[in-house]
Every structure is written in structure tokens, then in C-alpha cells.
Amino acid sequence: MNDSSQTDPQRADAAREGPAAGPEPAQRKADSGLLQLGAAAVALVALAALALAGWQGYDSRREAETLKQELAKRLAEADIHAKESRLVAEQVREANSEAQVKIGILENKLAESQNQQIALEALYQELSRNRDEWAYAEIEQSLLIANQQLQLAGNIKAALIALQNADMRLRRMERPQLTALRKTINRDIERLKALPHIDTVGISVRVDNLIAAVDKLPLAMEVRPQPDQAEEAAKDGAGNAWSRFWREVWNDVRQLVRIQRIDKPDIPLLTPSQTFFLRENLKLRLIGARLALLARDETSYKADLKAAREWLERYYDLRNNSVIHAVGTLRNLHASEISIEVPDISGTLDALRALRPARERAAR
């Protein structure tokens, strides 16, 4: 009884405590599940974070490797560019050195050119100052030569050309003080143009033709009578051979003695050497006439032509056409006037020289 009574109170206590203690294990179990779930979630998150961190680390390492390769590539390219830049810089330095040398040479040439230009400008100025003086000197020289040609050789054409050239140069200068000089020059030009023209070249050619024909002209003593050709032919054709033979012998004998009628009984007989010297002296006379023609020496010219004509009429066959023509040519040449009174252009020279003091005063 006692045990049961004691047990009953325990049971009663337990019964009282039972409803109160019953929910605690479930709560703990729930809490434990929650804790486990939280731990699992934390573990999953940690794993995810770890995986993410690993992936990020791998990715970072891969990017770092890629960057490293890219950096190495860039460094290699930069090294190549640096080498090329150094090579280009070296070439530029060499080109710069060559350019400096060339610039130095060009500067020297430029300096020389400038010096030459300065010298040329000074020379041009000097020439400009002396140009008129030189022109006057050239004009004076040409007029002097023209005057000498007139006085010594009577060369009117050369003097006329010199005066016309002088007038042309004075006209280009366009100086009022040269008007009087130009008038004097034009007056001398008109005087020279008014002179008669002498065909010196034509006369000289005719004399040359006579000189060339002297050796072909027949002498009077060389003329032989011409037999009657018709009579000789008739006689030769008649008779036999014997008679023809005797006729030929007789003709040869007749040739030993010749009777000839001549118009001039005093035909000179010349030896071969005299004939040679006659022809040569005749040529010398004609050559002397040509030289006198060129020198405008009318006296010597006509004397030589007269002597040549007299020799032709005395020693040569005047029945020959060539001799007749030569004699007629000599007569015509002898009648030609080769000497004319040429004017003096010293007045033009004096007018030109009178301008010299005025030019000297103007130069000062």
C-alpha cells in the first residue's frame, strides 16, 4: 500500500509534469533540424562561395596568363619597334649629317653666287656707263676703215655699208645731240649712192678669161695656106697607082718651096723660146691690168691693156675668130672707166670727234 501510494504520487507528479515536458524534445528536434538546415545552407553557400572563388581565381589566373602573354607580345613588338626606331633614328641622323654637309656646300655656293652677282651688277653698271663710249668708239673705227677703203682702194660699197651701220646704231641710241652727226652721215651716204657703178667683178672675170685663152690663140707665123681639098681629092682619085705615087712625090717637093702673099710683110719670126716668153709676158700684162683694176689705178690698167692689144695685133693671126674676139674685148676693157673721184668722209669723222668733249663733260 505504501509502495503504491508512493508510486501514485510520483505518477501524479509525472502526470503533472508530463504535459509540460512533452513539447521540449520536439522543439529541440525542430531546432536541431533548423540548425542542420542552416548549417547545410551555410555549407552550400560556403561551397558556392568557394567554387565562385575558385572559378574567379582560375579566371583571374587565366586572364593574368592572357595578359602576361599579351604583355610579352606587346613587349616583343615594342622591342621590335624600338629597334626599328633606333635604325630609323640612325638613318635620320646620317641623313641629317649628309643634309648638313649639303647645306654647307649650298651655303658656300650661295655665297659664291651672291659674290658673283654683286660683281656682275658692278660690271653691268660699269658697262652701262661705258656702253655709249664703246658704241662711239666702234662707230668711229668703222668710219675710219670706210674712209681708208675709199681713199686707198676706192671701195664705195664697203664705205656705204659702214656709213649705214653707223647711222643705224646712232638711231638706236636716240640722243638729240646726235642729230647733226646723223645728218652728216646721211649726206655722205647720198653722195656715195650718186656715184657711177663700176663692175669690177665683171671686168676682172673678162680679164681672167683672156688670160686663160692666151695659150690657145694662134700666132701669125704659124698660119699655113690651106690646100684646095676638092682639087686634091679629084687628083688622088684619077690615074693608076704609079701616077698617084708620082703626084704624091711632086706634092712633097712643092712643099719645100712656098710662095705666100701676106698683108703685113714684117711678120716677126719667133723661136720656140721666144714664143713661150711672148705668151707668158702677155699673161703678165693682163694680170697687171687686173691688179691695177682692183687698185683703181686707171693709168696702169689702160697701159697694160694697150700693150696686150698691140702684141695681139702684131704677133697673132688677126684672121682667127678667137684673136679677133680677144682684140675686141681688150678695146672694150680699155674704154671702160675704172677710176672715179670718190668723196671724202672726213667731215663725218670730224663731226663724231667733236662730240667727244661733250661726252666727257657729261660723264663727269
Give the residues across from 275 on adjacent strands: none
What average pLDDT score do residues 217-236 get? Answer: 60
Q: Please tell me the distance from the alpha carbon of residue 310 to that of residue 307, in angstroms, as a whole number.
A: 5
Q: Please tell me the distance from the alpha carbon of residue 163 to that of residue 349, in angstroms, as a whole number.
A: 11
pLDDT averaged over every residue in the chain: 76
Which of these, 208, 198, 163, 199, lies nearest to 183 by C-alpha position?
A: 163
DSSP secondary structure, 26-71, as one string: HHHHHHHHHHHHHHHHHHHHHHHHHHHHHHHHHHHHHHHHHHHHHH
Give 273: exposed, middle or buried? Use CB within 10 Å, 0-12, 13-18, 19+. exposed
- pLDDT(280) > 50: yes
pLDDT confidence of residue 357:
60
Q: What are the pLDDT digits (tens) for 39-83? A: 777 777 878 877 777 787 777 788 878 888 888 888 888 888 888
Confidence of residue 117 (pLDDT cuts 50, 70, 90): confident
pTM value is: 0.44
Gyration radius of the chain's alpha carbons: 71
Q: Please tell me the distance from the alpha carbon of residue 300 to that of residue 286, in angstroms, as a whole number.
A: 11
pLDDT confidence of residue 281:
92
Confidence of residue 283 (pLDDT cuts 50, 70, 90): very high
Please state which of the ranges 6-20, 56-70, 142-156 shows the lowest mean pLDDT: 6-20
Q: What are the pLDDT digits (tens) for 296-332? A: 778 888 899 999 999 888 888 888 898 899 999 999 9
DSSP 152: I
Q: Please tell me the distance from the alpha carbon of residue 302 to that of residue 281, in angstroms, as a whole number.
A: 16
- pLDDT(1) > 50: no
